[in-house]
Amino acid sequence: MSHAAYARLTQRLARLGALGEAAAILHWDASTMMPKGGGAARGEQLATLAGLAHDMMIAPDMAADLQAASTQSAWEDANLALMRRAHLRATALPTALVEAVARANSACEKIWRDAKAHSDFAQVRPYLEEVLRLQRETAQALSAATGLTPYDALMDGYQRGVTAAEVEPVFNAYEAFLRDALPRAEEIQARRGPPLPLRGPFPAERQRALCRDLSLRLGLEAEHSRLDESVHPFCGGTTTDVRITTFYSEKDPAKALLGVLHETGHALYERGLPAEYARQPVGESAGMAAHESQSLIIEMQACRSDGFLAFLGPMLERSFGGDAAAYAPGNLSRLWRRVARGFIRVDADELTYPAHVILRFRLERAMIAGELAVAELPGAWAEGLRDLLGITPPDDARGCLQDIHWHDGGFGYFPSYTLGAMAAAQMMKAARAATPGLDAALAQGNLTPLVAWLRTHVHGHGARLGFQDLLRAATGKPLDPSDFQAHLRARYLDEDGQDRSAAASR
């Protein structure tokens, strides 16, 4: 056994990490800056980078070093284990397939933008069929190598160690909870009457300045981040060059503002990862469910709390003017914690959002299993949404075309959203217990105590711990969906409309 072999592996993974960072910036550019005519060339660039990275991972000397490597610390143990996992997944896939997937994803994603704008599913259907064909081929190959089911093999690429068999009962239980909780929340909300509207206009430039100010206030350093615009908000880039995006509506500032708070949560996680293991597997995030927990603990748990809304209201009034009563925390809570059965996932409230994820989980699982054809997707989508929320989308733009994920090859990702929301509630309960002044700080617009807790209990672990072990380390137990349900009851099912989440956490 040889520590020199381990050192060679870290050098190789550092180069692979740099290739991944280059691809991340190219993806960001494609969504924010690239002219429409650059799509074909960009697809080839990304495919070439994916092929180069894959060839480096499956090279014979990589396998030899993995066999010979010895480690000298627990962190190195974890890093080597993650290298072996990555190598196993990579060697399951031919380079030609990896490049074909990158090309198909890039081509489909570009067509999807136009198809969504025109609500024309037929336009993107053949491209999505090719993406799905390649995803199924990928899933089968990974399944054979890992022993997981094909769908679990895809899920494992986003959040290791979590399977559909674990997720399904959690989602079924939530569906049962929602069946009673949603009409009750709607009834309580109706008795309180409608909130005062925020009357615009809300100039995009003022929104942009406010969003940037808030992201910096939350702790995202200007010298390591950018804020730009894209059709679908996201956080990308690298740990030292974080790119967050949003989009602006001059009729409604909430879309951009809450989107930036969400993406800043992702960005803070990236900035808090262990710098000494940068470009190493163990220095990455713990997975996408873990990542979603970090965006949602910032946006939903902290920044939609009564305390933070009391701080935020005067900022909004100074930025946009208008009726001061509309910016009162009670009114903002009724606006931004309003329960509504809607068609669009990214606009959904906390209570109904998991229903959108459950729908996608069931549909993508069926597509990967070969039980649902792409041509049947619009009808299956409409039927599934009707079963879960009692509504039917009026067109495909508000149905199966609304998300980028499948059109960019993201099968197996969606469960991470709701697992992350549940984990966020569990982490917030633990953070409040450990930090008695946390809610008072939020009322001052100060997230430093919360971010400090996250730096220690989540961010600093990198990928050393899997999702469940990370939760055990941070909260003392694995995922407990009852914490999320308790948070929702406290926030949405209380008769006077006050947020009792802090009290419920104690």
Annotated catalytic residues are 263
- 286 neighbors 161 (Cβ within 8 angstroms): no
List, in order, residues 6 or more apart from 385 with CB less than 8 Å away: 343, 355, 359, 391, 392, 393, 399
* Planar angle of CA 291, 273, 486, nearest 5 degrees: 35
Residue 196 DSSP one-character state: P
First to last CA, the chain: 50
- With a CB cutoff of 8 Å and minimum separation 6, the contacts of 442 are 302, 305, 307, 308, 311, 450
Element (H, E) at 218: none
Helix (H, G, I), strand (E, B) or coil at 330: helix
> Using CA atoms, how far apart are residues 90 and 97, in angstroms rounded to an integer?
11
Pairing between strand 225-229 and 241-246?
Answer: parallel
Distance CA 376, CA 353 (A): 23
Sheet holding 235-238, edge to edge: 225-229, 241-246, 235-238
Task: Tell me how far CA of residue 266 lies from CA of 197, 360, 365, in angstroms.
Answer: 29, 22, 26
CB atoms within 10 A of CB 146: 15
CB 483 within 8 A of CB 426: yes
Q: Where are the alpha helices (DSSP H) in 348-479?
A: 353-368, 377-389, 415-434, 438-442, 448-457, 467-475
Q: If you search the block for the tokens 């704008």, which residue do you land on? A: 117
Q: What element of type H or E holds 172?
A: helix 164-192
Q: Count CB-CB contacts under 10 A for residue 64.
A: 12
DSSP string, 3-37: HHHHHHHHHHHHHHHHHHHHHHHHHHHHHHT--GG
